[in-house]
Structures are given as C-alpha cells and as structure tokens.
Structure 1
C-alpha cells in the first residue's frame, strides 16, 4: 500500500515537472489556483495508466495527457504544442533508458529483475524523474535568448546538486541490495529520495524565479532612468528656450539693423548675422497650445519630422492637459511620438497625425496615427521595438501604459492592414483623481 502511494507521488512529480516546463515556455491562460488541480489530475491519470504495463501505451498517454493540459492551461498553437510535447516525451524516454542501463552496469540488474522488485522500480523511477527534470532545465536554460547575458555558466554549477543526489540514490540501492534491510527501512529510503527529488525541483525553481525577478527589477530601473533622463532633457530645453526668448527680445532688432547696414558693405557679415538670427528662431519653438510642456515635446518632434521628411500634422490648439503632472505629460507624449517616428521612418509614405481634443468638457482624447509598413509585433501584450536593443524591448510602451493607468485612462492600439496605418488612442477623464503612483 505504501509502495503504491510512493509510486503515485512519483507520477505527480512527473506531472509537476511538465508544468515546470510549460510555465517557463508558454504564457498561462487560466488562474494560477487551477494549476495544482491539473497537476493532480494529470499525475493520477498517468499513474493509473501505468498499471497496464505496456510501455508504448504509457508513452502515447503521456504525450496525449501533456498535450491536452498544455492547450487548456497555456496560450500556444497546435504546432508549438506538438513540438513541445515531443521534446518532453523524448527526454522522458531517454532518461528512463539511461537509468535502466546504469542499473544494469552498476548492479548487474536485468530489466526483468527490476520489474519484479517494487523497491528497485520506485528508486529507478525517482532517479529517472530527476534526470528528466535536469534535461528539461538544460533545454529551458539554453533556449533563452538572453542566456549568454544572464550568467548561465554560473547556473550550471547547480547541476552539482542533482548529480550528487543521483549518486546518493545509487548508494542507497547498493546498501539495500547487498545488505539485509527490512521493508520499513526501504520505505524510509524511498520517502527520503522523493524528498530529495522535490528539493532539487524547488531549488532550481527558486533559482529561475530569482533570475526573473532580477530581470523585472532591472527593467523597472531602465524604465525609470529613461523617464528621468527625458524629464531632465526637457527641463534643460525649457530653460534654454526661456533664456533664448530674453536674448531674442533684446538683440533681434539690433541684429536686423546691423544686417541692413552691412548689406552694401560686406556680404559675409550679412550671411553670418542671418545664420545667427535663424539659429535663434530655431531655439524659440512655436506655441501649438497653452501648455508649455506639450509645446516643447511637439516642437522637438516637429523638427525631427522636418529633418527626416515626415509629414507631421498637428492639431492640438485646444489641448488641455493641465490636470496631468509635467513629467507624466513628457513620458506619455514623448514615447508616443518616438514610437510613431520610429515606425514612419521605415515606410515610403511617411506621415504622422497628432491630435489632442476635449469632449464633454472633461474627456481628453489623445490620438496619434502614423504610417506603418507591417503589423507590429507584440510579446506579452507589449509592443516590441524594431531597434537593435535586445533585452530592453517595450520600454516606451510600458511607460505609456503606466501613465495611462495612473490617470485611470484607456489605451487602444490598432493596426489597419489596408491603409498601413498604426493608431494609438488614449482617453482620459480629467475629473477623475490620479492614482498614487510615482
């Protein structure tokens, strides 16, 4: 009875290992609370089928059960599900063959002897599951795009733990086989080995979870640093523009007078002064609306579009974003327009339409449409940049969503394949209080 319970636990762990693979490889689409139920059902089904004692049937049922679970619990297509479960089945078969071969070499056990001894059979199952788990972990580790930059060489040191565990399990089998040991001691050995197997899985899971948390924390720091740098940039730009206005007010008339006087005498002086006047004009942006921050951001991208021959249409005369903090306006509009410019640059008919309007006196609508040659790519609902910056994709989109969420707004991004246009629409009720976020 106890042996059957231990064997059932081993099959539950096998199901747990499959879910470990799925959770790191695919995006979950059901509640996290339902996952243990599916692990339990999957493990019990595989355990029950094992009593048929037909390896081909066991293999088919293993594949079918994991395939169904993957389709129900995770977002994936048929092709990916077929391939993923083929990998699991292949690794399972290989791990079992390795364990059977190692027992035949080390202990001179034949296949029939192993099948007739429940103790040996359970220990072999535990070792094969541990080996199966290590194979899956290695596949996950070396299939990561960022594996070269996350210290995977140091992570390989963790493999010392399962290798030591396997050696310990073989030692237990040796002691129990060549010395007279009662059944209670064997049961204790089995339970101890099961706990060792679980400990290995927990250690590896916590290790990978820690890496993920560190990545997210690093990404948050990158987002914050980008926003901080952008805010500092516009603060300096605003200060520069204020100083420029004072200078222009005082000397523009004098420069024009000097220009008129020098036209007949020295053409070089005239050209030089014209360039100075033109430079001062560039430093004095147009007031598109009453909000100074909106003007600064808009004028910056007006100059960028002008330089890159992008048709930039601006309709923000009645824009009223005074209910938003200045750094939030900067983060929102700068990232929206940066994404639009980046997309438009890759098209032949380059254009950006930028508008801000207010409806029903309090509902602000920000809309940006731009030319886009192909449908944008999304990863985990985050727009992926086409820039060659691996590992920091989607920083701008996350910043936009953060600001929109702070002001209880709605964000809609859609792509029209017929007109090759990507449109971002944000709606914010200016009367709603902002959330307490940094």
Structure 2
C-alpha cells in the first residue's frame, strides 16, 4: 500500500512539474480546465500501467504522454513537442540515476533496506526535488532565450537556491536514517518533513509564476491606458485644430480685405506670399463631418482615413445625443479599441466594410452601440467561446477586449459578440446605461 501511494505521489509531482514547464514556455490552445483534465487523464493512465513494473515501458509511455499533451494542448509543431518531451524524459531519468549515485555514496546501507516505506518515500522525494530544480533552471534559460522582453525577471533564478537547500536537507535526512536507528515516530516525522519540503518548493515557485503573470498583465494594462491617454490627447489636439480652422474661416473676410489692399497697391509679390501662407496653414486642412459629437467625430474621421488606405468601406450612423453622457477618455478607449479590432479583422478582405451605429432605446436610459465588420474566419472557432487572435504573439493579446469590458462595466452596460457564418461578418453589440 505504501509503495502504491509513493508511485501515485511520484506521478503527481511529475504532472505538476510538466504543468509548470508547459504553462511557462508555451501558448495554450485550450482553457485551463481542459488542459488540467487532459493532464490528469494521461498521468492516471501512466500510474495504472506503472503497476506492471516494466521500467523501459514506463519510460517510453512517459515520453509518449508528454508528447501527446504538448502537441494537443499547446501551439507547437510536432518536432518541437517531441523535443521537449524527450528533454523532460531525459532529465527525469538522469535525476533518478543521480540520486542512486548520491545515496549510494553517502548512505551505503540505504538500498539494502530499500523496501522500507521510509526509504521509498525519501528516494521519491529526493529524486523529484532534483528533477524540479533542474527543470526550473531549464525553464529560466529557455524563457530568456525565447522572449527577450522577460529578461527583467532574471533575478528569479536566485530562487533556485531554495530547492538546492532542500536537496541538501534531504541528503542529511538520508544520511541520518542510514547511520542511526530511529524510532518509528521520528521516522514518520522525517518522512512527512520531506514530503512537506517538496510541496513547499512547488508552492513557492507556483506563487512566483502567478505573481510574474499578474505583473506582466498589470504592465500591459498600464501601457494600454497610456496609449489611450495619448489617443485622447491626440483627439483633443484635433478638436483644437478644428476650432482654429473655424476661426480662420471666420476671419477669412479680413484676409480678403488685406489682399484687396495689396492688390490696389499692385504689390503682386506680397499678395502671392500672403496667399501662400494661408494655403500652407494647417487650419485649412479638410475636415470631414461624420457626427455632431466633436470627440467621436475626430476618432471616426481618423479611422475612416485609415480604412480608405486599406480599401475598406467605412460607414457611420451616429444618432444625436446617443453618446453624450460618455466621458471623453472612456469614449476614446471604447471606440478606439472597437475600431482597432474591426480594422484588423477586415484588412485584406475583398469588398470589406465596417459599419458603426449608435441608437437610443425609446423611453429608456439605454444607448446601443453596434459595430459590424467583415471577417474572413470565425474568431470563436476552437476557443470554447472565447475570441482568438491572429497576432504572432498570442500571449499578449486580449487587453483591448478587457479595456472594452472595463468601460462597458463602468456604465452598467452589457456586451454581446457573435459571428455570422453566412455573411462572414463579426457583430459587436454594446448597451450602455446613462446615469442620472
């Protein structure tokens, strides 16, 4: 019974290490729940087959299980999945051989009593501790090579001293157990201490990875907020330019009077210079009018020009007074993220279009914003109802949608998305509530 528990414990730790390795280095295809269920199923099969006691069969199945998990649950080519599965298998085997060698040197009588449950547990914990230490170090160097943007957390490598210290403590446990005759109570305490020591290491590194992930998300959100703040400043500048243009047009009568005076004096050179200055003025640049809301008009004009450059038909129908209650910074965040996603999806599609509409539900404080855009493929396909991305770096996406949800939530609104397979169009419908 003790041997069975030790085998189960061994496979549990190996599964945790594989989860840590894959979650840190690779981009997942499926949700956490799906990956966790598949990993548990694979390792339960490995545990059941290990009862047969065939060492080589266990090693080959361990390699196959890791390969299947990598190729099905993560965005990896088959040869890369096979490479990483082989690395994990080789490291695990070498760690167990190293433990045999170390224990044989410092505790020569250990293996003569290898059948004792105390020794079995110490061997399993010792070998998995070294396995975890090597894999954590490997994760650090592979991640640094894969993504230079994560080099800022290189000091996390110092955490490797925790499992190294634990390995040293484990070696002392083994040496004490080999040199002294211990009471059953003390043997139990040492065994439990070894098990708790291993789980403490796993917990510390799990918390560390969780904190790194949250810090990265926080940094990305801060960059997104900075981008939106810059966009708001840009659109404020456009509004100022439009105001200057209105002033210039208002003053055009005075400019014409000045030109008439110069004409009476036959000063043609000065007239040409005067007209040239007016023509070069940025205030005379053409400004489109898509809606009566100044900030939103500036945003829509910018994306209309962007769509024209990408051969995308752009149409906007913004009803009067439907979005006046939205603050300028929220308006910028909401519509810029919506239109960024729409333009990205519609680019490169023949006869692509984007339609933006805002309406007010009659006799309610609710405004409805709808965006329909061309989209060649279903963004929900293979992602369990979540939006997928076409961006090369799949880790760093989704912050635009998070920003949209945040803005919608601040106005007690609702957001719905769906894809129409018949028309190849993506639909986003947002309902916002005007506060009293």
Q: Provide the residue aligned with 2:415 in structure 1.
A: 409
Q: Is the 8 A contact 1:7 1:122 kept in 2?
A: no
- Residue aligned with 2:414, SS: coil
CA shift for structure 1 position 196: 0.6
The TM-score normalised by the length of structure 2 is: 0.75
Q: Does the C-alpha gap of structure 1 residues 243 and 391 become closer, same or farther in structure 2, counting only changes over 3 Å?
A: farther
User: Are residue 241 (structure 1) and residue 242 (structure 2) matched?
Assistant: yes
Q: Is the 8 A contact 2:236 2:295 kept in 1?
A: no
User: Are residue 157 (structure 1) and residue 158 (structure 2) matched?
Assistant: yes
**Alignment deviations for residues 294-340 of structure 1 (CA, whole Å, 9 cap, x no partner):** 2211333456678xx55565432554544644333322333455567
What 5-or-longer segments of structure 2 have no aligned partner? Answer: none
CA shift for structure 1 position 185: 2.7
**Alignment deviations for residues 273-313 of structure 1 (CA, whole Å, 9 cap, x no partner):** 3442552554672322222222211333456678xx55565
Alignment of 1:161-172 (within 5 A): 161-172=162-173
Distance 1:275 1:304 in 2: 28
**Alignment deviations for residues 351-380 of structure 1 (CA, whole Å, 9 cap, x no partner):** 87555475998754334559x9xx9xx998
Alignment of 1:178-257 (within 5 A): 178-249=179-250, 251-257=251-257
Q: Is the 8 A contact 2:416 2:430 kept in 1?
A: yes
Distance 2:368 2:162 in 1: 59
Distance 1:338 1:35 in 2: 34
Q: Provide the residue aligned with 1:269 in structure 2.
A: 271
The TM-score normalised by the length of structure 1 is: 0.75
Distance 1:429 1:243 in 2: 35
Q: Provide the residue aligned with 2:20 in structure 1.
A: 20
Alpha-carbon RMSD across the aligned residues, in angstroms, is 4.6
Q: Provide the residue aligned with 1:54 in structure 2.
A: 54
Distance 2:48 2:344 in 1: 57
Q: Is the 8 A contact 2:368 2:431 kept in 1?
A: yes
Relative to structure 2, which stretch is displaced further, 125-134 or 182-191? 182-191
User: Are residue 332 (structure 1) and residue 334 (structure 2) matched?
Assistant: yes
Q: Does the C-alpha gap of structure 1 residues 147 and 364 become closer, same or farther in structure 2, counting only changes over 3 Å?
A: closer
- Residue aligned with 1:315, SS: strand
- Residue aligned with 1:211, SS: helix
Q: Does the C-alpha gap of structure 1 residues 168 and 11 become closer, same or farther in structure 2, counting only changes over 3 Å?
A: same
CA shift for structure 1 position 10: 3.8
Q: Is the 8 A contact 2:2 2:117 kept in 1?
A: no
Q: Does the C-alpha gap of structure 1 residues 425 and 38 become closer, same or farther in structure 2, counting only changes over 3 Å?
A: closer
Q: Does the C-alpha gap of structure 1 residues 148 and 363 become closer, same or farther in structure 2, counting only changes over 3 Å?
A: closer
Distance 2:238 2:312 in 1: 21
- Residue aligned with 1:285, SS: coil
How many equivalent pairs are there?
A: 417
Q: Provide the residue aligned with 1:399 in structure 2.
A: 403
CA shift for structure 1 position 160: 0.9
CA shift for structure 1 position 44: 6.0
CA shift for structure 1 position 349: 9.2
Q: Is the 8 A contact 2:318 2:356 kept in 1?
A: no
Distance 1:28 1:228 in 2: 33
Q: Does the C-alpha gap of structure 1 residues 404 and 424 become closer, same or farther in structure 2, counting only changes over 3 Å?
A: farther
CA shift for structure 1 position 11: 3.7
**Alignment deviations for residues 103-151 of structure 1 (CA, whole Å, 9 cap, x no partner):** 23334469x6475555433322211111122233233333334466344
Q: Is the 8 A contact 2:10 2:124 kept in 1?
A: yes
- Residue aligned with 1:131, SS: helix
Q: Provide the residue aligned with 2:125 in structure 1.
A: 126
**Alignment deviations for residues 82-113 of structure 1 (CA, whole Å, 9 cap, x no partner):** 55443332222121122112223334469x64
Relative to structure 2, which stretch is displaced further, 144-153 or 212-221? 144-153
CA shift for structure 1 position 178: 1.9
Q: Is the 8 A contact 2:290 2:316 kept in 1?
A: yes
Q: Does the C-alpha gap of structure 1 residues 237 and 199 become closer, same or farther in structure 2, counting only changes over 3 Å?
A: same
Q: Does the C-alpha gap of structure 1 residues 237 and 390 become closer, same or farther in structure 2, counting only changes over 3 Å?
A: farther
Q: Is the 8 A contact 2:39 2:69 kept in 1?
A: yes
Distance 2:252 2:404 in 1: 40
Q: Provide the residue aligned with 1:137 in structure 2.
A: 136
Q: Provide the residue aligned with 2:91 in structure 1.
A: 91
CA shift for structure 1 position 400: 4.4
- Residue aligned with 2:235, SS: helix
Q: Is the 8 A contact 1:404 1:426 kept in 2?
A: no
CA shift for structure 1 position 37: 10
What 5-or-longer segments of structure 1 have no aligned partner? Answer: none
Distance 2:232 2:220 in 1: 18
User: Are residue 9 (structure 1) and residue 13 (structure 2) matched?
Assistant: no
Q: Does the C-alpha gap of structure 1 residues 122 and 391 become closer, same or farther in structure 2, counting only changes over 3 Å?
A: closer
Distance 1:202 1:46 in 2: 24
Distance 1:424 1:267 in 2: 58
